[in-house]
Amino acid sequence: MRPIGVRMRRGRALSVVFVTVLLATGAMTPPAYAAPGDMDTSFGDGGWATINIGLCCAGPAMARTPRGEIILAGTTWGPRRDPPSVRDWDFALARFTRDGKLDPSFGDGGVVLTDYGDRAADRGETDDTLRAMDVLPNGTIVAAGEVRDRSGERDFALARYRRDGRLDPSFGDGGKVRLDLGNSPDRILALALYPDGRILAGGATAEPGSIFPFVPVLARFNPDGSLDSSFGDGGIVRMRLASQTAEFTAVDIQRDGKILAVSQGNVLRFNSDGSLDTTFGDGGIVDVFSPGDIFAIAVQSRGKIILGGGRVPLGMDFRLVRLNPDGSVDTSFGDGGEVITDFDGRNELVTDLALQPNGTIVAVGHSWAGEGPPDGNWGHDFAVARYDRDGRLDPQFGDGGKVLTEFGAQSRVAASAVVVEPRGDITIAGNTFGPWAVGRLQR
């Protein structure tokens, strides 16, 4: 096996990851000095911690609170219902202290589960899938996704929590909002929060009479959970793009209040009222990633826009593209505006981006080596790459700018989120298709 990057290995049966590096030179063991990309052994146990509460689906989302705690959020199997064979999905949040321990002061021993319950007596239980989460400057937590009835109807779902994990009764109905856009399925995939508490949600909805199964949609909510009527059409913006299945998978709010949203290979920019910004690209739209998908956005200090994702189909690598503020490709970035990073896997994808205080770019995602049954080794790894401001891999980070982390031979793992600490350390999180894992790398 040819290693790429700094490879960390984890046994499947452990609930907490221990990473131990042994050095020996003759009779003496020299002191170990942490290098950029090494695990921060002061976090969790050896740099990693995991939690397993019957979690399912993709994710988790991750956010850092103003006090430095780390919140992971996604979907869990809920408690069994009546009859016992019925088991629905719930929103799940877990909070870790700054040093990577599960925080017992949050919810029930560090964990909060939220069930949207019955909408109507004849519909039975709901499946509640959390797909996005963020934290306001005051520590309030906002989570979003979808609610699905047993009948198959799917609606937008939002929940807001106080700092200690209790639902905020001043938001929606007892802390929860369920929104039916009129045509199932409706689902939220991305969130961005305004400092004043307003919520921007991006996702997808069905449109009557359309030849497309889904159309991308934005919704903006007031701090109390009601729709913001000053945005779009009563708080909603629907778009029709060329793709037959389109949805907004990432959203961001620029410093000037304009909104960026991505759908597959397209980047759209909207004015603060929800109208397309015609000064950006072609009437507000830039098709820059085809063929491929965009899953992450980061805006640099001068307004340049970093996009992260991958090529399609299989055979893709990490892919970054940088746009100028007007939507044109910035040819000073990487190779003519694009950076391709190969971890030596068959299928590699950027899922999240973050900027360090000095402007360096951190991209996380996964790398799939291509093995699988019958040999039993799926070869999925967490993948992290660090670049300078202009897209060059940082040779001081990991092995030539790259770090891979392996979680057992049969795991199908994927890093889904990254947060940069105030000093520049890098916290990453992802799904090991069982436990969630959260770890911290040295800056």
Amino acid residing at 265: G
Question: 116: which 2 tokens?
Answer: 């949207």
Question: 103: which 2 tokens?
Answer: 């925080």
For residue 409, how many other CB atoms are within 10 A of its CB? Answer: 14
Question: 382: which 2 tokens?
Answer: 């967490």
Q: Whole-angstrom distance between the N-terminal and C-terminal Cα of the chain?
A: 28
Question: 234: which 2 tokens?
Answer: 């009563």
Question: 127: which 2 tokens?
Answer: 């499946």
pLDDT tens per residue, range 281-313: 999 999 988 777 899 999 998 999 999 998 765
pLDDT tens per residue, range 359-394: 999 999 988 865 554 444 455 789 999 999 999 999
How far apart CA 167 and CA 230 sit, in angstroms, is 27
pLDDT tens per residue, range 149-175: 877 788 999 999 999 999 999 999 999
Specify whether the CB–CB gap between 179 and 155 falls below 8 A: yes
Strand order in the sheet with 259-263: 250-253, 259-263, 266-270, 285-287
| Among 238, 256, 239, 351, residue whose Cα is nearest residue 298 | 351
Quick one: what percent of the chain has pLDDT higher than 70?
Answer: 81
Local confidence band at 78 (pLDDT 50, 70, 90 cut-offs): low
- Helices and strands (H and E) in the chain: how many: 0, 29
**Cis peptide bond N-terminal to 185, omega within 30:** yes
Q: What residues have CB less than 8 Å from 209, skipping those under 6 apart?
A: none
| Among 94, 162, 83, 159, residue whose Cα is nearest residue 125 | 83
For residue 174, how many other CB atoms are within 10 A of its CB? Answer: 11
Q: What residues have CB less than 8 Å from 205, skipping those under 6 apart?
A: 181, 183, 185, 186, 187, 214, 215, 217, 238
Strand order in the sheet with 436-441: 48-51, 436-441, 426-431, 414-420
Q: Alpha helix (H) ranges present in 249-314?
A: none
Q: Where are the domains of the chain?
A: 1-33+298-443
How far is CA 156 from each of CA 87, 101, 227, 262, rounded to the nearest angstrom? 21, 32, 12, 19
Q: What residues have CB less than 8 Å from 421, skipping those under 6 apart?
A: 64, 68, 427, 440, 443
What is the residue-averaged pLDDT of the chain? 84
Whole-structure pTM over 0.85, yes or no? Answer: yes
